[in-house]
Copies of this chain bind each other. A is one copy, B any other.
Amino acid sequence: MKHQINPDLQRERDNCSFDIAELTTIIDGSPEKTKERKEREECFLVSLSEGPSTAVPEEYLSHREKYERGLHSSCYIFKQIRKWQEEGKMNINNYRYVIGGILSSSLVRDGSVFGLHYIMFMPAIINLGSEEQHQTWLKRAWTCSIIGTFAQTELGHGTFIRGLETTATYDPETKEFVLNTPTLTSYKWWPGGLGHTSNHCIVVAQLHTGGKCHGIHSFIVQIRDEDTHMPLPGVKIGNIGAKLGLNAVDNGYLALDHVRIPRMNMLMRHAQVMEDGTYVKSRNSKLNYGAMMFVRVVIVFDMLNYLTKAVTIATRYSAVRRQCQVKEGEPEVQILDYMTQQHKLFIGISAAHALRISANRLWDTLNEVSDQIEQGNLERLPELHALACCLKAISTADTAALVERCRLACGGHGYMLSSNLPLTYGLVTAACTYEGENTVLLLQTARFLMKTWQHIDTAKTTPTIEYLKITSDPNYVNKWEKSVQGIIRGFQVVAMRKTSKSFEMMKTRMMSGLSQADAWNMTSVQLVAAAEAHCRAVMLQAYHEATVAEAAAASPQLGPVLLQLLELYAAYWALEKTSDLLQYTPITGDDITELQIWYEELLTKIRPNAVGLVDAFDIRDDILQSTLGAYDGRVYERLFEEAQKAPLNAEPVNQSFHQYLKPFMQGKL
C-alpha cells in the first residue's frame, strides 16, 4: 500500500538545493559502494522476512519472549551470512559492514545473540590459536556448527583484567586444565550469547602451572551438550537478567566448578603450556592491542549508524510537526523553523559527518599500523592506541548526548518506543561502558599525552600530536580568527595548554610529597579534560581536511553545503568551549558574540536543506523502524497504527477490571 508523502515533507525535498543522491554517494564512498550497500540491505531484509512475525512489535514482549524472537531472527540473518561466507562473498571490507553495521545497529533492533560469535569468538581463535587449533575449531565455528562467545568480565572485575579470579590450573597427570570460579565475584558476567545460546566459550583465566601463576590466558571450554544443549557437569550458566537495552543479546553468567578441559584447549599461538606443565612465554605482549583497537573502530562506525538514525527521525518529524501560531492568520509553524529546534538537531547532522570522517581515518590508520606491526614495527602503536581510546570515548559520549537531544526534541512522541529513539539511546549509552569505560579510556589517552609531553622537545612527533610541538614553540603566534582553521588552531592551543597544565600540576603535587599514584588521582579530573581537548582538536582537524577535499570534488550545489556543516560543527564546539578559548587564546567577548551570530546564521542557512541532508543518509524505513521518522512522514497515522498492535488493546476490557478494579471501586477489595 503506497501512501502519499506528507506535503510538508515533500515541500522540503522539493526545495533542497542539492542533489540528495550525490551526497549519499559521498557518504558511502562511491556509486559502487552505494549499490553494494543497497543489495546487502535488501538481501538481509529478505532473509529476515522468513523469520518471526512482527505483528506484535517486540516492545510488547516479555523478557523471555524477546530472547526467543531475537534468536529466531538471528538464525535467519546468520543463515544468510553463512551462505555468503560459503560463497566467498565475505571479506574484510564488507565484514565490518555486515557484522558491525547491519547486525549490531540495524536489522536486529535490540542486538543479536550471535554477535560475539563473530566479533570475539572467531577472531580470538584466529589471533590467539595455533594452526592446529584453527583446524580444530575454526571450521566448526565458521559453519556455526558450534556457537561460541568470549567470557572475560566477571561479576567483580571489568576494567582491571589482572584482577580476574577465574583459574585454569594445569594437571600434568591427566594433561588437562582445571577451570574454576572459586568465588561469587569470579563468576563470568556479561558475555553476549552466553546465557542460553552458546555451547562453547572462550574463558579468560589466571593460568597456574608448576605451582606458579602466569597471568591471564584464554581457554576454549565447552559449556553445553551439543545435542541436548544441557549445561555440562560443573557448569552453572544462565541469563544475567533484564537490562536497559540489548535484551535480545542473552548476556549470561557462568560459574565453573573444577571443569576439566584438554591441554590443547588453551589458545597457544603465543604462550604455551607443554605436556609436562612447562610454561613458554609469549614473545610479545602487545600483539593483542590490534583486536582491541579493531573493536573500538567498529564502535565508532556503530555510533555513526545510530546517530544518522536519530537525526533522520527527529528532523523529518520536525518538518511534519506543526505547533503554535506565531503570526496571526498564518498556519501553525513547522517546529523545524524554531531556532531552538535547529540548535538541537543540526549539530547532530554535522556530528554524523565528523564521525564518519574520523571513523574512516581511524580505520585507515589502523590498517596501516597493523601492517607495520606485522613487520615488527611497533613505533606508532602507542599513538594509535591513545587515539582509539579517546575517539571511542568521545564518539560514544557525544552520540549518546546527541541521540538523547534528538529524542527530547521530539517531545512526548519521542518517549514512545515506536519512535525507535529510546531503544537507540539504550544501545548507544551501553557503548559508553563496554569495551573500555569512557573515563578509564580518556585516562589512557592522558597517560600517553603526559609521556609525550615529558619529551616533547626531543620526541619524534607523529601526525596526531604534531600540534603539541608546534603550538608550544615560543615563537608560535597564538591568535584568534573566526574561521574553521582559526577554531582548529584555538583547540590545539587549548589541548596543548591543558596537557602542559596537567603535567605541571602532577609535578607540583609530587614535589609536595604525593606519590605518583596519588598525584595522578588528584589531577585526574583535569587529565580527563586534557584528553578530551586533544580528541576534539584531532577530530576537528580531520573533519576539516576531509571536508575541504570532499567539497572541492562535489558539485557547486553540494560543495558549499558540506562546508556549512563543517562550519556549524566548528562554531558549535567553539561556543561550547568558550571557557577554554577565553583562558588560552586571545578571543574576546566581542569575538564570542560574533561567533554566536555566525552560528545562528549557519542554522538559518542549513534549515532549507535539513530534510535533504538526512534523506542523504538513505536509511530504509524497514531499517529505521520509526513511527516518527518514516520517509512518507505519516507520523500520526503510524503512531495510531502501532498502538493498535499492543496486545493490551486486543480486548476492550482487560481481565484485571473484574479481578481488581471493580472490587476496588465498589470498596470490596
Q: Is A432 an interface residue (CB 8 A)?
A: yes
* CB-CB contacts below 8 Å: A326-367 with B: 326-327, 332, 337-340, 343
| Interface contact A196-B654, CB-CB below 8 Å | yes
Identify which of A69-77, A309-317, A609-617 touches chain B: A69-77
Most buried by B among A71, A242, A322, A666: A242
Give the most central of A63, A528, A577, A644: most B CB within 10 Å. Answer: A63
Q: Which residues of B are found within 8 Å of A195, using beta-carbon distances?
A: 648-649
Contact flags A159-175 to B (C-beta < 8 A → 1, else 0): 11011000000000000
A429 pairs with B408, CB closer than 8 A: yes
Q: Chain B residues near A189 (CB, 8 Å)?
A: 639
Q: Is A241's CB under 8 angstroms from B64's CB?
A: no
Most chain-B Cβ atoms within 10 A of its Cβ — which of A159, A229, A343, A404? Answer: A229
Q: Is the CB of A656 within 8 A of B68?
A: yes
CA distance in complex: A545, B118 (Å) = 59
Question: A643 near B: Cβ within 8 Å?
Answer: yes
In the complex, the answer to whether A238 meets B515 with C-beta atoms within 8 Å is no
Q: List, in ascending order, chain B residues with CB within 8 A of A404's CB.
A: 429
**Chain B residue with Cβ nearest A592:** B583
Say how far A80's CB is from chain B's closest CB, in angstroms: 11
Shortest distance in angstroms between A320's beta carbon and chain B's nearest beta carbon? 10
Q: Are B430 and A415 in contact (CB under 8 A)?
A: yes
Determine whether A136 belongs to the interface, using a CB cutoff of 8 Å to chain B.
no
Complex Cα–Cα for A644 and B524 (A): 38
A44 contacts the other chain (Cβ, under 8 Å)?
no
In this complex, the member of A340, A584, A593 whose beta carbon has the largest number of chain B beta carbons within 10 angstroms is A340
Instruction: Count the copies.
Output: 2
A186, B415: Cα distance in complex, Å: 19
A1 interface residue (CB < 8 Å to B): no
Given contacts A163-B332, A184-B636, A525-B340, contact A238 B64 (CB under 8 A): no
Given the known inter-chain contacts A197-B661, A340-B439, A417-B244, please indicate yes or no for A239 contacting B648, CB distance below 8 A: yes
CA distance A552 to B662 in the complex (A): 54
The contact of A324 among B59, B62, B163, B664, by CB within 8 Å, is B163
Decide if A45 is an interface residue (CB 8 Å cutoff).
no
Residues of B within 8 A of A253 (CB): 640, 643
A620-669 residues with Cβ-Cβ distance < 8 A to B are 636-637, 639-640, 642-649, 652-657, 659-667, 669
Q: Which residue of B lies closest to A147 (CB)?
A: B665
A636 touches B579 (CB 8 A): no
For window 508-525 of A, CB contacts with B under 8 Å fall at 515, 517, 521-522, 524-525
Known: A61-B62, A652-B230. A416 touches B323 (CB 8 A): no
Instruction: Give the contact stretch, choosing among A150-158, A383-391, A447-455.
Output: A150-158
- Looking at the assembled complex, report how far the CB atom of A608 sits from the nearest CB atom of chain B, in whole angstroms: 15
Distance between A216 CB and nearest chain B CB, rounded to angstroms:
14
A652 to B443: give the CA distance in the assembly, Å.
42
A157 to B322, CA, bound (A): 8
A301 to B579, CA, bound (A): 33
Contact partner, A411, options B158, B416, B665, Cβ 8 Å: B158
Interface segment, A12-20, A138-146, A291-299?
Answer: A138-146
A646 touches B343 (CB 8 A): no
Q: Does A274 contact B (CB under 8 A)?
A: no
User: What are the residues of chain B within 8 A of A243 when measuring CB–CB?
Assistant: 415-417, 422
> Assuming A242-B59, A596-B526, A667-B143, is B656 touching A71 (CB within 8 A)?
yes
Chain B residues with CB under 8 A of A411: 158-159, 433, 437
> Does B325 contact A525, Cβ atoms closer than 8 Å?
no
Q: Is A29 an interface residue (CB 8 A)?
A: no
Chain B residues with CB under 8 Å of A415's CB are 243-245, 429-430, 433
**For the complex, is A500 an interface residue (Cβ under 8 Å from B)?**
no
- Contact between B515 and A63 (Cβ–Cβ < 8 Å)? no
| A401-435 near B? 1/0 per residue, CB < 8 Å | 00010001001101111100010000001101110
Chain B neighbourhood of A582, CB < 8 A = 578-579, 582-583
- Is A78 positioned at the interface, with any CB of B under 8 Å from its CB? yes
Residues facing B in A227-275 (CB within 8 A) are 228-231, 238-245, 253
A412-B158, A429-B408, A664-B79 are known contacts. Are A655 and B437 too (CB-CB below 8 A)?
Answer: no
Whether A185 sits at the interface, judged by CB under 8 Å, is yes
A185 neighbours in B (Cβ, 8 Å): 636
A-B contact pairs, 12 of them (CB 8 A): A59-B63, A61-B62, A62-B647, A63-B647, A67-B648, A153-B412, A156-B636, A163-B325, A185-B636, A243-B415, A327-B515, A339-B525
Known pairs A75-B660, A79-B669, A244-B416 / 18 extra A-B pairs, C-beta < 8 Å: A62-B62, A67-B654, A157-B323, A158-B323, A184-B636, A195-B649, A196-B653, A229-B662, A230-B652, A230-B653, A239-B649, A240-B639, A240-B643, A253-B640, A404-B429, A411-B433, A526-B596, A582-B582
